[in-house]
Structure 1
Amino acid sequence: MLSLLPAPLHRLALRAAHAGRKAYWAIFRPHIQGVCVIATNDAGAVLFARHSYGSGNFLLPTGGMKRGEDALETARREMREELGCELLDARVLVTHRNSLHGAKHTQHLVAARLDATPQPDGREVLEARFFAPDALPDPVTPRTRRQLELWAASKAG
């Protein structure tokens, strides 16, 4: 439905929805599930995305799970919808619980390779860029740093 709106209005609606969602989570503290995707290109660089809402920083791609989806289905759907590409060799590295804006959050960390160059949808994701693991965007949040550490540990052993 939102996709019928012109892109600038869609982005405005996403910013309002994000603020409302954060307030709801802080008050009602629901249990939510989502994925964080560490997607790499053939050179081993990691994909980061800059959303039209939130901090405006580059972050790892994430997304909420829909009822009936598993983590890999969610990761594939999110990458397809927001970045126009498919995941190859996707696997769940770890599942952990944390807090996200007050909500009880179960997050599945998914690692994969990409089949193509990402094409941001221009609505939810404004920009997507690959960064070498030793030249990450600034700032990198503590949560993102921890996710990258888990990914690096999975590759090492």
Structure 2
Amino acid sequence: MLHLIAKAVERLLPPALHRALLPLAFHVRHRWRLWRGTRLAGCAVVIENGAGEILLLRHSYGPRGWMLPGGGIDRGEEPEAAARREIAEELGIELSRLELVAVIEEVVSGSPHSAHLFAATSTARPRPDRREVIEARFFPADSLPEPLGPVTAARIAAWKAQGRARGTGRG
């Protein structure tokens, strides 16, 4: 419910103002997580386009590197539903099929984090929301852009280790 209220408030703000406020909100949320150390749950999706390319994006806030699409899982929300919601909200893509690849235990903002990593295929052109996501593009899985943060690199490595990358014979 809180997520729906926050999204309604966000949509009332002009995109430029929303984008300008996101770095402050990110900083506050990061500090809060460091102080609380509360366990978090999130999702990330490796979206392949069928040509051996995967979708990466850049946010208007936080680290400036390229990342996999995804986000937080709301209380009571199923990980797959959260992944679908995040992809639809931020990129305008409806995913027909998601496959759970792994649940990765990591640390995000100083808090323990369980990342539900999914794989999907889509040929849809991403339409960044221009609020949270400022750029989204497909890149060859064997030639990813820099900078690529360590969390994103580890998630992509987990996806590749499951034989998901094109040309591995299992994906």
TM-score (normalizing by structure 1): 0.94
The partner residue of 1:122 within 101, 125, 130 is: 130
Answer yes or no: is the 8 Å Cα contact 1:87–1:115 preserved in 2. no
1:61 aligns with 2:69: yes
Residue 58 of structure 2: aligned partner: 50
Identity in percent: 40
Residue 46 of structure 2: aligned partner: 38
Residue 71 of structure 1: aligned partner: 79
State the secondary structure of the residue aligned to 1:136. coil
1:3 aligns with 2:11: yes
Residue 131 of structure 1: aligned partner: 139
> Counterpart of 1:118 in structure 2: which amino acid?
P
Quote the Cα distance in structure 2 between the aligned partners of 1:113 and 1:54. Answer: 27
For 1:41-71, what per-residue CA distance to the aligned partner results, in whole angstroms no more than 9, with x for missing partners?
1212010011110122211112000122111
Residue 6 of structure 2: aligned partner: none
When the two chains are superposed, the root-mean-square deviation of aligned CA atoms in Å is 1.3
TM-score (normalizing by structure 2): 0.87
Q: Which runs of 4+ in 1 moved over 3 A?
A: none
Q: Paired residues, what number? A: 157
For 1:110-154, what per-residue CA distance to the aligned partner results, in whole angstroms no more than 9, with x for missing partners?
111125111000101001011101110112222222211211121
Q: When you count strand as a share of all residues, which structure comes out higher?
A: 1
Residue 101 of structure 2: aligned partner: 93
Unaligned 5+ segments in structure 1 are: none
State the secondary structure of the residue aligned to 2:20. helix
Unaligned 5+ segments in structure 2 are: 1-8
State the secondary structure of the residue aligned to 2:130. coil
Quote how far apart the aligned CAs of 1:93 are: 0.7
The partner residue of 1:104 within 66, 88, 112 is: 112
Quote how far apart the aligned CAs of 1:40 are: 1.0
State the secondary structure of the residue aligned to 2:97. strand
> Counterpart of 1:117 in structure 2: which amino acid?
R
For 1:10-32, what per-residue CA distance to the aligned partner results, in whole angstroms no more than 9, with x for missing partners?
01221111100000011110111
